[in-house]
Structure 1
Amino acid sequence: MSDTERPADQPRAADDDAWEQACAEDLAAEQARRRTQYGTPPGSAAEELRRLVDAVSEKLSGLQSPIAGMAAQGAVNQLINQAKSVVEPVIQRNPDVFDHLAAAGTELLAAYRSAVQGHERRWAEEDRPNKKDEPGGDHIDLD
């Protein structure tokens, strides 16, 4: 049966994926626009840890001190390589753990901030005398 003979209630196979393909193209264009405007978004916590280790190792290997000499430079390179060899397998085996730890850290910070703000509010109310009788704001003594 050709396209001209097909009943109106049977869509063509190409029409099924047209919406999905158009959405994917729009999403890719929007992501490219945002990358151009805002830069590369941060990756997962595991990727960020890997990038941190790489940045620190590059910075340490780039530091060359004439006083320290080659022996100290070799020790620094060895230390960097050991740190990478320890961190890399952990990141590869458990990449989601770092995301969970980052989320947990954010939640702990929010809980701490909430507790501190509550205490600060109570302390501020305890330190002020009863101001309900005075209209307006706080009285400022200029003497």
Structure 2
Amino acid sequence: MSEELPQPDAAGDEAAGQDRAAAGERRAADADAWATAAAEDLEAEKARRRAAYGPPPGSAAEELRRLVDTVADKLSGLQSPLLGPVAGTAAQQVVRQVVQQAKAAVEPVIERNPDVFDHLAAAGGELLAAYRSAVQRQEHRWTSQEPDPRDGDPRDDEGGPDAGPGQRIDLD
């Protein structure tokens, strides 16, 4: 007996290839369905959080742009009853012109350097933390019961070559 394997026919190869292709498509479809379901769940969770907590804050550049727009809207809508109707209209036109000039000056800077505003915001946060730390330390020193040894007053020393009958009063 010979150990020869039978020669596969062309129809058998095609059937096996089609079975493998169908299995691959099913796996791809399953992976795609999983990815789609995960993306839908993520979007639903984001929508739920936006509804509960409001929109997430944007970058510092976007926040600055929104601030400029809000201030511009408030200033443009501001009417002064003290100036009267004629002067009030002229004042509104001047305010609108100033607001437009300010926006025209700020917008290009924001568009060119959006990362700079993020760095400035971070630096401002660090400065605020350092200031808060210094103030807390100073307040603690002011309110503590024990006097700080560094705050010794040399005038409290009795005697000395300049000691006279009077006492110096510090008006500070």
- Bin of the TM-score, shorter chain as denominator length: 0.7 to 0.9
Q: Which has the larger radius of gyration?
A: 2
Uncovered stretches (5+) of structure 1, i.e. residues with no partner: 130-143
Instruction: Please name the residue that 1:6 is paired with.
Output: 20
Q: Does 1:29 align with 2:44?
A: yes
Shift of 1:38: 1.4
Instruction: Please name the residue that 2:64 is paired with.
Output: 49
Uncovered stretches (5+) of structure 2, i.e. residues with no partner: 1-16, 148-172
Structure 1 segment 19-98 matched on structure 2, within 5 A: 19-66=34-81, 67=83, 68-98=87-117
Distance 1:108 1:12 in 2: 55
Find 1:100's aligned residue among 96, 108, 119. 119
Aligned length: 125
Shift of 1:6: 2.7
Shift of 1:114: 2.2
Question: Any runs of at least 4 consecutive aligned residues in structure 1 with deviations exceeding 6 A, and if so which?
Answer: none
Rate the CA distance shift 1:112–1:20 in 2: closer, same or farther, 3 A. farther
% identical aligned pairs:
70
Distance 1:27 1:115 in 2: 43
3-state SS of paired residue (2:20): coil
Rate the CA distance shift 1:12–1:111 in 2: closer, same or farther, 3 A. same
Higher relative contact order (CA 8 A, sep 6+): 1
* Structure 1 residue identity aligned to 2:78: L
Distance 1:110 1:79 in 2: 35
Distance 2:102 2:76 in 1: 13
TM-score between both structures, scaled by the size of structure 2? 0.62
| Residues 3-29 of structure 1: per-residue CA shift (max 9 Å, x gap) | xx339x967223344443333222211
Distance 1:116 1:22 in 2: 52
Give the CA RMSD over aligned residues. Answer: 2.5
